[in-house]
């Protein structure tokens, strides 16, 4: 396995096994420089979202890099205020314009139940929003479509009307924070799991088990977390704005965790330090 390796989505599209995350990366020079550093380090898979507010900066970085669009895999996600057919269609076109591209490799519904639509027939809104993604896929605006933060019950809502099954579910996965029910559901239905926040919110770096194991392997805790994710068949999306750490996050293909070491990490609980956002919380 290397940075050039890919997973194959249900429709045959190849997606690089490691992606560069940009959540909480400020727009402007910070985002542009971070993406350029990621591309320079060998990342070809860039993940963003309209709600991150940095799509224009990422589009500029890709343009400046001179890398052929066909050599990159770019993902974005639907704004939470766009859960109707018409609004979703407009939002995708806006993302394409901001990213300066004619197509996206992957487009996701960011949340199944954003607060703005939670009390107004949310199931119908979700189904109509998914239909907009299906039509964008058929029209060639996106090469693959999927979702983020979905649990099994949300997939069951889509099943009632969908013509195309989601190909990806991007959820929070890191040592100590594993939604086993959703992971099992996706694996049973051939839905690739992307792991956002693979380092939690930073508290994971203070975990004594991970620190000791990292010292034993002569690796960083971050590299350990990414390797754990890859060996489980997830697609981690590490985020950083520091070139040295960005490069370090690509250096996870020349070592392996043993079965015992994997079990050690699997046994961790409650080390990620996440808080629930009431605007996007499940119900």
Residue numbers annotated as active site: 52
H or E element that contains 271? none
Q: How many CB atoms lie within 10 A of CB 278?
A: 7
CA–CA separation, 181 vs 194, rounded Å? Answer: 15
CA–CA separation, 113 vs 242, rounded Å? Answer: 34
H or E element that contains 85? helix 85-98
Ramachandran angles phi, psi of 142, nearest 5°: -135, 145
Ramachandran angles phi, psi of 102, nearest 5°: -85, -15
User: Do the beta carbons of residue 199 and residue 174 sit within 8 Å?
Assistant: yes
90 burial via Cβ count (<10 Å: 0-12, 13-18, 19+): middle
Task: Tell me the pairing of strands 168-172 and 192-196.
Answer: parallel
User: Residue 130: helix, strand or coil by DSSP?
Assistant: helix
CA–CA separation, 173 vs 167, rounded Å? Answer: 17
Ramachandran angles phi, psi of 77, nearest 5°: -135, 155
SS3 of 155-181: HHHHHCCCCCCCCEEEEECECCECCHH
Length of the chain: 283
């Amino acid at each position: 396995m290397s940075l050039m390796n890919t997973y194959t989505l249900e429709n045959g599209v190849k997606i690089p096994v490691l992606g560069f995350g940009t959540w909480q990366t400020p727009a402007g020079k910070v985002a542009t420089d971070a993406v350029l550093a990621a591309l320079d380090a060998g990342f070809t898979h860039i993940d963003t979202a309209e709600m991150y507010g940095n799509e224009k900066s990422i589009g500029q970085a890709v343009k400046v890099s001179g890398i052929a669009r066909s050599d990159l895999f770019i993902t974005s996600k639907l704004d939470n205020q766009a859960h109707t057919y018409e609004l979703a269609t407009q939002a995708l076109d806006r993302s394409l314009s901001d990213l300066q591209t004619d197509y996206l490799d992957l487009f996701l519904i960011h949340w199944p139940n954003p607060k703005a639509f939670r009390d107004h027939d949310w199931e119908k809104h979700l189904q109509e929003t998914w239909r907009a993604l299906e039509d964008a896929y058929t029209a060639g605006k996106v090469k693959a479509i999927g979702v983020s933060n979905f649990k099994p019950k949300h997939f069951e809502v889509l099943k009632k009307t969908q013509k195309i099954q989601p190909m990806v579910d991007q959820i929070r996965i890191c040592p100590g924070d594993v939604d086993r029910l959703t992971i099992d559901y996706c694996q049973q239905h051939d839905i690739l799991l992307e792991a956002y926040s693979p380092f939690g919110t930073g508290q994971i770096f203070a975990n004594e088990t991970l620190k000791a194991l990292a010292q034993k392997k002569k690796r960083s805790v971050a590299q350990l977390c990414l390797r754990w994710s890859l060996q489980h068949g997830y697609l981690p999306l590490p985020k950083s704005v520091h070139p040295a750490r960005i490069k370090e996050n690509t250096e996870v293909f020349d070592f392996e965790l043993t079965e015992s070491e994997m079990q050690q990490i699997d046994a961790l609980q409650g080390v990620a330090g996440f808080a629930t956002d009431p605007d996007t919380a499940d119900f």
